[in-house]
Structure 1
């Protein structure tokens, strides 16, 4: 496993800063990033997909005023942003981003596409390098061909010294397991598949990562929002959509147990995956400085082993 120098077990994801679900002003985005820096966060994750490049541009503008050797940054490849004049005048609602649809996403996992995607990201970020590059959601395209092209492409970037580590980020356990078994990657970003609500990555993905010394970055720990508040409700999201009744019932049952121990649901959700040694860090998004500070407070709130044991004994976690 390549050491990418992550100095913190808490990283900031930037999808919200790309206007995920709702607009965030430049000032709000800068304030959120400043709060992250002030609370000691030095791990930042982004992607071209997040707001059609908006998140990368905002992150780059903030980091321009910080020492490059004091943080690590990851971005993703697999989707090229191509100008789309037909999108003028409408928003990127199909992908849940409140940004003008002036570009379209074009899948490309070829060596040339991967390099062009990275170069475009570096331009938006205003950087000469990033630390980690992930193949992004190959399962949403065509998993087999995407891995056949994409794995050698990102491995070549590492061998050429362009990046320090390479990985794959996905919600699909099939994609994550295939990536872990490839023997090519240094790290997996496991999105929503090892959370307080559900743990399918325990079946094979995490054991494979342990066996092959592949690091894990845990993302989507709030499952798109249903674990983000102390009391889950029908207004929350799950997998970027409405919360199914059975999922909501389970989230509420978990929240009730957490409350018995004086711990709010989001605090437990943040801590859950960090208890697994193969998980190197948890990456959490935030749309405001207040959300960053609240997550920082939660990560400094002790959680007793008795809570985890009770959740397990009640069959609410594995």
Structure 2
């Protein structure tokens, strides 16, 4: 079965904001946002233990409790185990991004035992007896430097084999990597074994940053009949006027690029959300996009952006201005 057959639609829900990403989000606001997604018809929810040290999973579990389990798909991640022990926020742990999350200690562990424990813990937090997709999380974080290859090897002999077995036994429907760098995906696809089904690529196939993924990852994924879930389609909010890009304060160069795109979008009457979502989905390797949301109103905005009519002339002008790669597939343009 293709991963595109497992995912119920092109638009999913990214739960990172539920873990108090960048700000302290009231509990009721978080629960109302998940309910708004459900009411909108969204049936694919992505999560991770790392998001607020389990907070996002706890909130999603509460929000979806009582919903018919057969009507929605959950993906979550392995590679981080959440302990009862308390830790201080540090750049090598949760960092500034989730400093408002739970204070529980987060341990990086891609071994077989940790993978099974991570899934078991996630099931409890999510209040469910199964997940459909498991992603191996953050195998190439910048703070690891070249040591990420050691993490990859740990996962190759641990998490990858466990998830391959669970998929073949029918416990999960698919697995892959959930990363914000393309190198681990390239490396895994060069191996004969194991056999991933799908990848979650955050921030690397967006309107603001897509060149590297276009060179190898997207063609490799498409050739193998797999799929990409695009996370962070608004580039940590930078595309829609936010102060962050790629989980850090926006740079002047990115701010200028956003302003240039927006000036063209305004002339064509195109919303920046529509430009972002529709660009990512135009690539045939992309199975779904999962924008994050922490307010109920954002859900309706995302849905409207997905169906908004955008003139081909808008995309052509972006290409002529050098704002998108000449090799990038664009909506409605051959």
Aligned to 2:130: 129
- How far has the Cα of 1:156 moved from its partner? 1.8
Match of 2:183 in 1: 174
Structure 2 match to 1:187: 198
| Structure 1 stretch displaced more, 291-300 or 8-17 | 291-300
Give the 5 Å matches for 1:15-164. 15-87=16-88, 94-99=95-100, 101-140=102-141, 142-143=148-149, 144-149=152-157, 150-164=159-173
Number of positions where the alignment pairs a residue of Structure 1 with one of Structure 2: 310
Q: Which residue does 2:329 correspond to in 1?
A: none
Contact 2:80–2:107 (Cα < 8 Å) also in 1: yes
Q: 1:212 aligns with which of 224, 230, 237?
A: 224
| SS of alignment partner, residue 42 of structure 2 | coil
**Partner Cα distance (1:153, 1:303) in 2:** 44
- Hey, what does 1:232 align to over in structure 2? none
- The structure-2 alpha-carbon separation of the partners of 1:129 and 1:101, relative to structure 1 and needing over 3 Å to count, comes to closer
User: d(CA) in 2 for partners of 1:258 and 1:109?
Assistant: 43
CA distance in 1, matches of 2:84, 2:11: 34
| Secondary structure of the structure 2 residue equivalent to 1:280 | strand
Instruction: Give the superposition deviation at 1:147.
Output: 3.7
- Which residue number in structure 1 is paired with residue 285 of structure 2? 278
Structure 2: runs of 5 or more not aligned: 326-334
| Equivalence map 1:231-310=2 (5 Å) | 236-310=243-317
Look up the SS of the partner of 1:83 in the other structure.
Answer: strand
Q: Distance in 2 between matches of 1:267 and 1:255?
A: 11
Please identify, of 54-63 and 295-304, the stretch whose mean Cα deviation from structure 2 is larger: 295-304
Q: TM-score, normalised by structure 1?
A: 0.92
* Shift in alpha-carbon separation, 1:100–1:41, aligned structure 2, 3 A: closer
TM-score (norm 2): 0.88
Moved beyond 6 Å, runs of 4+: none
CA distance in 1, matches of 2:101, 2:43: 30
